[in-house]
Amino acid sequence: MSTIVRFAPSPTGRLHIGNIRTAVLNYLFALKSDGRFLLRLDDTDRERSTEEFAEGIRRDLAWLGFDISWQVRQSDRIARYDAAADKLKAAGLLYPCYESEDELERRRKRQMARGAPPIYDRASLRMSAEERARLEGEGRSPYWRFRLPNTEGSDGIVPLPTLVSWNDAIRGDQTVDLGSLSDPVLIRADGSYLYTFTSVVDDIELGITHVIRGGDHLTNTGVQIALFEALGAVPPVFAHHSLLVDAQGQALSKRLGALSIEGLRETGLEPMAVLSHAALVGTSDAIEAHSDLASLAAQFSFDKISLAPGRFDVAELNQLNARLLHRTGYAPIAQRLAALGVGGGEAFWDAVRGNVETLADARAWWDIATGTISPVIEDAGLVATAATLLPAEPWDETTWGAWTNAVKQATGAKGRALFHPLRLALTGREAGPELKHLLPFIGRERALARLKSSV
């Protein structure tokens, strides 16, 4: 059986680095096992899901370089959920409940205050048919709960400890006690379905073989395994990775806009830098920039994924991005450079690539070379002398050496005393690419003007 995995975000917000970690882990596993990757938009929450977010998610994934040619959305699959729900109702595994949300909330708080677990007491399950009829007569429409199989040996109502276990591809043997959980709500009072249910129905019908998701779903998995079985299906393999925390070790908040993929893209990061970091953080592999997904996939393995929370550090991501760019040749990015208005072709890129953190920095260097800058005159005398010694054009890579030697002879300056004032006057910057490479792009006219800017 060939591998099928899915990434199932809900279009209630933009993707952030934590989501991408889940996405890339799924994607790499599919790639490595020659399987398929499904993008499933979990949009059953009508209140919060929007088409705009759905579009944003697709854009983010496309930018990252995922092949998202196979997509489904849960809002298109309601008939499937209806059928599965009917099946459960017929088997007496889905029962109507009539408490209001407020009532449930109050009840939970009371239980917590008493130090008791906030578990639903199955009050509606104990209800007589007459009572149900009366409530419905009043116009109350029920919401529906799945009756967890945790009453073996009891009266059928009182839950008993019931362990569900599975062998997690990342965490090893896991168990969840269904006896300590509430019967999950599967259908809202308005008739819409909840994730716990739709996810299982889809996983069954779309033939998902591996569910790779965050550890925040660990308890869901216990419930969902019971659902798979209630629907007569064999559960897929589950793999729960740890969640990401920020550089301070705090939980990654979805509110942090800068960590959205959109935000990362806007700051000029390369997709492969983001992907490399997302795939490698919290694994035993070195965090280094890979140039393509295939190379990341080649070394993917569940047992390399740590159980401890992964630490996401933007500074590290920037570093990764810089290193990726440093070793990127001209051809793959020629178009993007042109789009940024960077000229000079391959020679210019080779001159500056060691000094860029993002591609936009190449534009900054192009502007420094060919635009208007504010020269910094550190040593007016030396700079003035240098101006008079500028060779005639044409200039090439040997010009810098010949010129600085002449300046050295004339002034006696050498080393830092010679080069630092020249760099400051020519570029206005403390650090930068080798001037031997940059000087030809500045050209004699601009160089002369910059050197003479002190007078």
Partner RNA sequence: GGUCCCUUCGUCUAUCGGUUAGGACGCGAGAUUUUCAAUCUUGAAAGACGGGUUCGACUCCCGUAGGGACCGCCA
Tokens 């910094």, residue?
A: 376
Residue 104's H or E segment, with its range, is helix 101-113
Count the helix, strand and coil residues of the chain and give each as a percent rounded to the nearest 5.
50, 10, 40
Residue 29's H or E segment, with its range, is helix 17-32
* Beta strands 163-168 and 172-177, pairing class: antiparallel
The DSSP annotation for 215-263 comes to GGGHHHHHHHHHHHHHTT----EEEEEPPEE-TTSPBPPTT-GGGBHHH
Residue 55's H or E segment, with its range, is helix 51-64
Contacts 24+ apart (CB under 8 A), 101-106: none
Rounded to a whole number of angstroms, the minimum distance from the CB of residue 2 to RNA is 25
Residues 6+ apart with CB under 8 A from 349: 330, 333, 337, 342, 362
Rounded to a whole number of angstroms, the minimum distance from the CB of residue 334 to RNA is 20
Rounded to a whole number of angstroms, the minimum distance from the CB of residue 436 to RNA is 7
Of the pair 119, 206, the CB lying nearest RNA is at 119
Rounded to a whole number of angstroms, the minimum distance from the CB of residue 310 to RNA is 5
> In residues, how long is the chain?
455
Of the pair 34, 47, the CB lying nearest RNA is at 47
Of the pair 339, 378, the CB lying nearest RNA is at 378
Rounded to a whole number of angstroms, the minimum distance from the CB of residue 1 to RNA is 26
Of the pair 210, 353, the CB lying nearest RNA is at 353
CA-to-CA dists, residue 364 to 355, 376, 429, 432, angstroms? 11, 17, 11, 11
CA–CA separation, 124 and 141 (whole Å): 13
Rounded to a whole number of angstroms, the minimum distance from the CB of residue 8 to RNA is 6
Q: Which residues pair with 94 in a beta bridge?
A: 146
Of the pair 293, 425, the CB lying nearest RNA is at 425
3-class state of residue 270 by DSSP? coil
CA–CA separation, 430 and 263 (whole Å): 29
Of the pair 158, 339, the CB lying nearest RNA is at 158
Of 42, 6, 61, 429, the closest CA to residue 274 belongs to 61
Of the pair 67, 121, the CB lying nearest RNA is at 121
Rounded to a whole number of angstroms, the minimum distance from the CB of residue 152 to RNA is 19
Rounded to a whole number of angstroms, the minimum distance from the CB of residue 276 to RNA is 11
Of the pair 2, 284, the CB lying nearest RNA is at 284
Of the pair 281, 447, the CB lying nearest RNA is at 281
Distance of CA 320 to the CA centre of its chain: 15
Rounded to a whole number of angstroms, the minimum distance from the CB of residue 323 to RNA is 5
Beta carbons of 435 and 450 less than 8 angstroms apart: no
User: How is residue 76 annotated by DSSP?
Assistant: G
Of the pair 195, 441, the CB lying nearest RNA is at 195
3-class state of residue 412 by DSSP? coil
Rounded to a whole number of angstroms, the minimum distance from the CB of residue 18 to RNA is 10
